[in-house]
């Protein structure tokens, strides 16, 4: 099966991150680029399981807490 991909599309399956993209699954939010095995198994995308930075349990609204300590960052010593 040949899937037409644009220059900005990923080339690796968005569910397993191993196999090349060979299938497209249409959803209400757009489309998922998957390998044939993940498309047939109806596997969820990994970014859906681990949002937004691949860290389980970090929600988009809580991502603001990821910052430096109370001091501003300093350069390392020479």
Q: Is the pLDDT assigned to residue 1 strictly greater than 50?
A: yes
Indicate the SS3 state at residue 54.
coil
The reported pTM is 0.57
Q: How many CA atoms lie within 13 A of 51 on its CB side?
A: 7
- Residue 4 is predicted with a pLDDT of 82
Place of tokens 């603001």: 64
Position 35 pLDDT exceeds 80: yes
């Amino acid at each position: 099966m040949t899937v037409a991909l644009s220059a900005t599309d990923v080339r690796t399956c968005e569910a397993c991150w191993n196999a090349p993209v060979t299938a497209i699954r249409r959803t209400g939010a757009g489309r998922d680029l998957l390998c044939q095995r993940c498309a047939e198994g109806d596997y969820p995308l990994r970014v859906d399981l681990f949002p937004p930075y691949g860290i389980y349990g970090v929600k988009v609204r809580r991502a603001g807490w990821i910052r430096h300590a109370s001091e501003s960052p300093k350069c390392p010593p020479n």
